[in-house]
Structure 1
């Protein structure tokens, strides 16, 4: 009887669970409206995902893997059948063993893993609407089709990669839409205001941040991604409202590191999608516009980590709203857009399931080749351990840890032949025991090759993004690429114990070489420690110090008493600063510490322009720099009220790239100039510098006047009278002759100017435009491009000519103030680490 009752209880619980799942609510039943009738807030999306996990615990598990800058949860839904869901951890570890990331043997049957990311661009919001239907289909106990697919597939879904951007868009749309939506393209609801919902809180494009991981969303998501390494990754987007639908195969150029199998499977997935779309007579296109070259997309970065990475693009984006009347007379609805992304999601899962065995086999082969037969000419990368760049080297190792790229140290002295990134030539290389070594013989070798090689082979110059990003340039390190194998030792070099022998020295000294030094300065300032800076190199007590060295004297800080020593030492330790000390103000060469060339650094009150007309991305990079990278207060000023701002409240005003004709009209610009003459500092970046060029009292002049351009044009026509007989189909290719697509150039520096302190003679810039400037007659030409300064990346022939003998970085005295011109953006996407000290120089050192 006991056995009977026990069996009966089990049977009843099973029946109850079945009844519970049978009553599973659809998205429409849960939300109270059919998907596509209105936009769903992020909070309600989270509610529905959690509801499914509560109602179908044998099919779906939900994990909060982090939070956004604005505190919204980031979720990952794991969907599997009742056999695989309880053994998710075993499946995950098995997969990492297949990749060689974990040791040990694979245990049990291993399914294929597909990861799908939705709504990385906030106003491309349809994908998060569709994911609710996808999840329902996967956990619905009555759906025999998805049950079949889940027999050999585990599905990971990120319902909303960018909640902050999505909510910015959805809330705006709900406030402005006509009831039921107005399809007229002229309606308010189809014209998003600045900055739009596309970026995250700091206005970064998260789909350009996969490889760099500068944003909190990217860091948390990709730590989780690296713990799984799926075989397939699909990234869901939207594009212009007039476009149909895009799915793989991708357009050229495809990076040379993409394997033949990965290229082939792009077509396989495309075939699965095509069946769904052809069946419903939906329009689509393939092999156009969306290439696989830049390594920081949601299709390329997963591809370089062994997956089949794909982008899906639905026409619509933030412009489309609930309904949008297109030029062909059709009305595109939110329901249509949801249906298309839903179909593409199912096609991807089906393809993964039906090709699971091939996918897992090729995945193992991919990582086996990485370990034993890495592709490419170079087999190791060596980074010199120099005291001047110790901060940058530490930043690199932090980055390698994020990417789970293995590295070590040479362990002994040796010599080899290698490519010198500084000279662009093959040279003899002396490897020292403390040098950092990244070997290609490791699981992540393809990613290493893509990120570190001096230049990437570009099969077609019509690409979608920047064409150069080599990490040695980005981190400002002396590096070599070796063709011979060099395996690093396991031991990190022992650090030399550094103690400050004197309890109360005359002064503390800190060299100025990296972003860490900027952080150290800002924290000292926030603690009310008075800091000075030497404008000249000097030597004291047998040690040499370059210009820019921070000097903290006891004189001037008397009010802090004994707290001065404890504060300075604690902050130096926290930020990894090699703090030095001196017992005298006398120097053996250079200027004594009491000299007029040792400047007191005032804590500047900084403002940055934001709002209509300003590039949201350019502004966001600056905002993020101050708040998240150096932790320094900054005041954001809106363009709509800037004319009424009392500028005397600020010491520094930063103009990010943008269009300033409206906000800086003649009267307002005169106010700004008067403020500069009174001691203010104006930092104009990229197109903001271009706006000031040629205007009264500004020394900056654009390179190549209209008259000169006309003469050049006439000269070309005379040399080739048939040059105007061009083919219409070649118009894009002809246009790129004047383009520079994110290419690296060597900038020659005047290292005696504070804008260049900490760099020496050279800075490597990521140049993205050929709109350059003449050398200034009345100002300091701090950073210039000379005739042969090109390093790597695509540059059109005409653009390369324009980039010769051009000003990149400059400073102009104006009254008692300064105007700083940054034609290159040293904070671009937050990943060009070597530019962050330069920007710190502009803010904290120039004009002091």
Structure 2
């Protein structure tokens, strides 16, 4: 055995020497044992291009490459071939890691990259580029392919495949496929979209591994500790963030893609290790705003992938899962500027080897190679169909303009009368995604109504029309046959095939006024900027009594958090009042001059510039109606110490997204507390504690001691906020923190209890129809059917202090199967409750039974416990941080909740 190893090492050394001597015969990557790692069989490689092994010390797939290894290798490739590869940094993650993309092309195309950007921008706007100019560009331009890898940090194979793809494109010498790609394609490679999540995964894996890679699905290697590596620093699933654009990784990536508008975009993922490989065409349902040419191109690229997978003997499947309906995916959002975007999914080894249910082992090196082959195949398909892809892109943009001129929806008007701050943010968000948004510099009239200056206008007769309709329409319809099939499956208790939410209308989620008009606004208004808020200034820096800030917008909420962090004294009213002729809603902020530092005007002016908050000075405390500043209906706001439960059983998404909203959207610090600390830890330092949505059982994690600790803390003046499925815990009779109850599925006809008798038999029955069979198999007690995600309408009880500043009507994203009973009036208040069945649904597809049962049930509840309060959100208000219309309800729960409790101060 020892002799064999010596001979193997000697032969390996000879091969390495030969590779350096013989031009064009550079050896392929080899493993530690000397085995040749197959890249593309039969290909010779340029020895001037450094291999994975030469730079990093291991072959592709032999180790899970870290962020630093990836950067080191991409930099080495760039140095080796600067005429064919460029490296660009496009953002930094929350943990300050570089996000990069590389561009690979032949020397001429790489040198002409600025011209490519200019020409793609020209081709993207048929209003400026007529058919003859477009034809010239289509004949001369290369195709563009954007390959994105590793948006989920624990989907590990794609990053190593990205490095392999870059090497192969630069080093392959006798490859007709590569020659064709370099001649016809500019390839953009984004090798690691989520470096923070990947680093978290690698830390877990490297600290868990032993002498040999362990393939057992029970091993620690195969079971990540909470929160896992899938999400980024703030626990966002960034494959749902593309149009929400909340995270720096997404913001930077979208900005770069807006420059080049790549024709083909692929997002490379992983799925269960027991599955093979998925590529497009996608499953149903399809978004109705997709163009037929895009579906045709997906099929064309899929067939090319199939050709190579058949050649190499790789298993794959298509169409069965991963639909093309929701626009927030990496394979969705690029579609709506005219790209052909797709997801590829590789069964994951979640380590170096995974033992499958069929008894075979899946090796990491194989998962890397599958993604590598799919990447090259995609670029090859783009090269073979360069002109057709460019023509389809131009036609897509041209037909979008035509549709915007002829369809019933010609424009959207955003007056900003309900929430100016949210409206401004929405306009800026759309502008950042390539939508042309106008801002009126004077009042105007259209569709029989008058609108004020500063209103935003979005005419649909523009190249981004399909993105506009997808994001701005109240509802995007699903295929009727698909919905019919889901209803059929539901009758048999099979899960729905809807992959994500069915509703995402931005005006509804932001709760802003959006008027649809069947006429184009023709005034020559200036283009809106991409700013998400408008800096403000103090209206009067010489006020002698107080400064007042109307409540109800994100700008005033950020004013509150900044003021509290600076130690300013702030009061807030529970009822509306009128001062010096101006109406101030409940929740408005009062800064009394004599109770604050002498430089109060300077501080408030600085905060207004930073937040955009509206602040007015008054020289008298006299009000013409409503409570005076010294009334019992005016509360001094405290600066609460806020904690959030971290670790199992919480949902990482809910915990992270909630923390993000508080810290990054409202600039207020949050302390993370591990769940086990709640069992007996001293919580007296905190005034607010948030229980996020849970994926497991808080009862099991906290036990009796935790429940008693929480109840004692609340009664001493704490404010406990429970979200989503966390209400299962606080409403548990054994916990007794909130007097609501989770409901079973409503049954019009009571189901008989058919429990077996002592002899194991039950009463005999006669079944005379399939309906009888369905009735007989219905459990006596079951949850309502699971809702994939819809937007529903809710009403606000404006008289309660927790509803201060909330709009009379809110839009709530409802998902899951939990429905809660209202609080009795002697127990607490149902501050926000769902509307009646006929008015409930705002957007999406909701099962009829759920529609009826959700009606008039609570969304936001509050119950006093001793000196404190328990506040319950029956649905998570911070999902994906894109429900801006619900943010004030969360801020009220934290700051008004803490100030209306009576903790010892």
Query: Paired residue for 2:374, among 344, 349, 354?
Result: 344
Q: Cα offset for 1:233?
A: 0.2
For residues 626-673 of structure 1, give each alpha carbon's deviation from its aligned partner in whole angstroms, at most 9, with x where no partner exists.
Answer: 221112121110113332421111100000001312232122111111
2:323 pairs with 1:298 = no
Contact conserved, 1:655 with 1:682, CA < 8 A, in 2? yes
1:689–1:823: 8 Å Cα contact kept in structure 2? yes
Question: Would you say 1:360 and 2:390 are equivalent positions?
Answer: yes
1:532 aligned to which of 568, 571, 580: 571
2 CA distance for matches of 1:685 and 1:372? 45
Distance 1:141 1:317 in 2: 28
Label 1:667 to 1:349 Cα distance change in 2 as closer, same or farther (>3 A). Answer: same
- Please say which of residues 131-140 and 363-372 is displaced more in the overlay: 363-372
Equivalent residue, structure 2, for 1:4: none
- Pick from 691, 696, 706 the counterpart of residue 655 of structure 1: 691
- 1:680 equivalent in alignment to 2:718: yes
Aligned partners of 2:525, 2:852: CA distance in 1, in Å?
47
**CA-to-aligned-CA distance 1:305-353 (integer Å, 9 cap, x gap):** 21111000001163xx111111111111101111111110011001000
- Alpha-carbon deviation of 1:493? 11
- Residue-by-residue CA offset, 1:62-99 (whole Å, 9 max, x unaligned): 11112111111111110001221110110111011100
CA distance in 2, matches of 1:162, 1:48: 17
Q: Offset at 1:144?
A: 3.1
Kindly indicate whether residue 115 of structure 2 is the aligned counterpart of residue 68 of structure 1.
Answer: no
For residues 314-463 of structure 1, the aligned pairs below 5 Å read: 314-316=346-348, 318=350, 321-374=351-404, 377-386=408-417, 388-410=418-440, 429-459=449-479, 460-461=482-483, 462-463=497-498
1:690 matched residue in structure 2? 728
- Asked whether 1:746 is paired with 2:793, we answer yes
Distance in structure 1 (CA, Å) of the matches to 2:819 and 2:91 = 42
Query: Does the aligned pair in 1 maintain the 2:438–2:528 contact within 8 Å?
Result: no
Asked if 1 retains the 8 angstrom alpha-carbon contact of 2:543 and 2:617, the reply is: no
C-alpha separation in 2, matches of 1:752 and 1:660: 33
**Do structure 1's residue 482 and structure 2's residue 517 form an aligned pair?**
yes
- Report the alpha carbon displacement of residue 552 of structure 1 after superposing the two structures with TM: 0.5
Equivalent in the alignment of 1:510? 549
Q: Can you list the C-alpha shifts for 1:577-598, whole angstroms capped at 9, x where unaligned? A: 2211211111111111111211
The residue matched to 1:151 in structure 2 has which SS? helix
Q: Per the alignment, do residues 488 and 85 of structure 1 end up closer, same or farther by CA in structure 2, a change over 3 Å counting?
A: same
Cα distance in 2 for residues equivalent to 1:338 and 1:636 = 36
Aligned residue number for residue 490 of structure 2: none
- Does the C-alpha gap of structure 1 residues 46 and 498 become closer, same or farther in structure 2, counting only changes over 3 Å? closer
> How far is the alpha carbon of 1:440 from its aligned partner?
0.5
Q: CA offsets, 1:463-518, max 9 Å, x none? A: 21001111111111111112332345324899999864561420100001211211
- What is the match of residue 786 of structure 1? 835
TM-score calculated relative to the size of structure 2: 0.85
Deviates more, 1:738-747 or 1:156-165: 738-747
> Could you tell me which residue of structure 1 aligns to residue 759 of structure 2?
none
RMSD: 2.8
1:122 deviates by: 0.4
Please state how far the C-alpha of 1:17 moved relative to its aligned partner: 14
Cα deviation code 1:789-826 (max 9, x no counterpart): 22111111222222122111111011110000011211
Deviates more, 1:791-800 or 1:601-610: 791-800
Distance 1:662 1:329 in 2: 34
Partner SS, residue 71 of structure 2 = helix
Post-superposition Cα deviations, 1:182-222, rounded to whole Å, max 9, x if no partner, equal 12222221111111110001110010111111001001111
Give the Cα–Cα distance (whole angstroms) in 1 for the partners of residues 60 and 741 of structure 2.
Answer: 52
| 1:610 aligned residue | 646
Q: Which residue of 1 is the match for residue 674 of structure 2?
A: 638
Structure 1 window deviating more from structure 2 (751-760 vs 823-832): it is 751-760
Gaps of 5+ in 2: 1-22, 27-44, 484-496, 754-764, 900-905
Tell me if the contact between 2:143 and 2:185 (Cα under 8 Å) persists in the aligned partners: yes
**1:596 and 1:736, CA in 2 relative to 1: closer, same or farther beyond 3 A?**
closer
2: CA distance between counterparts of 1:654 and 1:571?
A: 27
Distance verdict in 2 for CA 1:574–1:719, change over 3 Å: farther
d(CA) in 2 for partners of 1:285, 1:376? 38
The alignment's TM-score, normalised by the length of structure 1, stands at 0.91
| In structure 2, C-alpha distance between the alignment counterparts of 1:570 and 1:236, rounded to whole Å | 45
CA contact (8 A) 1:411 1:434 kept: yes
Q: 1:597 aligns with which of 612, 620, 633?
A: 633
Paired with 1:434 and 1:508, the residues of 2 have a C-alpha distance of 25
Paired residue secondary structure (2:290): coil
Give the superposition deviation at 1:430: 4.3
Q: Which residue of 1 aligns with 2:66?
A: 41
Q: Corresponding residue for 2:771?
A: 723
Aligned to 1:830: 881
1:756, 1:841 within 8 Å by CA — same for their partners in 2? yes
Give 2:704's match in structure 1, choosing from 638, 652, 666. 666
CA distance in 1, matches of 2:898, 2:538: 34
In the other structure, the counterpart of 1:268 is 300
Offset from partner CA, 1:416-474 (integer Å, 9 cap, x none):
55xxxxxxxxxx65444542211111121111010001111111343210011111111
Offset, 1:526: 1.2
Instruction: Give the SS at the match of 1:645.
Output: coil
How many angstroms apart in 2 are the aligned matches of 1:323 and 1:488?
63
Query: Matched residues in 2 for 1:260 and 1:33: separation?
Result: 45
Q: Secondary structure at the match of 2:122?
A: helix
Conservation of the 8 A alpha-carbon contact between 1:408 and 1:488: no
* Structure 2 Cα separation of the partners of residues 405 and 258 of structure 1: 17
Query: Structure 1 residues 229, 549: CA separation in 2 closer, same or farther (over 3 Å shift)?
Result: same
Q: How far did residue 532 of structure 1 move?
A: 0.2
Kindly tell me: are residues 137 and 143 of structure 1, through their superposed partners in 2, closer, same or farther at Cα, counting changes over 3 Å? farther
Distance change (3 Å), C-alpha of 1:664 and 1:130? same
For 2:450 and 2:124, locate their aligned partners in 1 and report how far apart those are by CA, in whole Å.
33
Select 2:616's aligned residue among 575, 580, 585: 580
Q: Aligned pair in 2 of structure 1 residues 376, 316: CA closer, same or farther (>3 Å)?
A: farther
Distance in 2 separating the partners of 1:18 and 1:79: 23
Question: What is the distance in 1 between the residues matched to 2:49 and 2:856?
Answer: 69
- Out of 215, 227, 238, the residue aligned to residue 259 of structure 2 is 227
For 1:758, the equivalent position in structure 2 comes to: 805
Whole-Å Cα distance in 2 between the matches of residues 294 and 207 of structure 1?
A: 11
Q: Deviations over 1:604-637 (max 9, x none)?
A: 0111000021100000011112221112121110
Task: Tell me: CA distance 1:493–1:400, structure 2 relative to 1, closer, same or farther (3 Å).
Answer: closer
Picking from 102, 119, 123, the partner of 1:94 is: 119
Partner of residue 185, structure 1:
217
Instruction: Return the alpha-carbon distance in structure 1 between the equivalents of residues 238 and 792 of structure 2.
Output: 26
- How many residues are matched? 810
1:844 to 879, 895, 900: 895
Q: Post-superposition shift, 1:576?
A: 1.3
Q: Counterpart in 1 of 2:143?
A: 112
Equivalent-residue separation in structure 2 for 1:317 and 1:764 (angstroms): 41
Cα distance in 1 for partners of 2:72, 2:653 equals: 31
Q: Does the C-alpha gap of structure 1 residues 363 and 718 become closer, same or farther in structure 2, counting only changes over 3 Å? A: farther
CA contact (8 A) 1:164 1:200 kept: yes
Q: Is the 8 A contact 2:784 2:817 kept in 1?
A: no
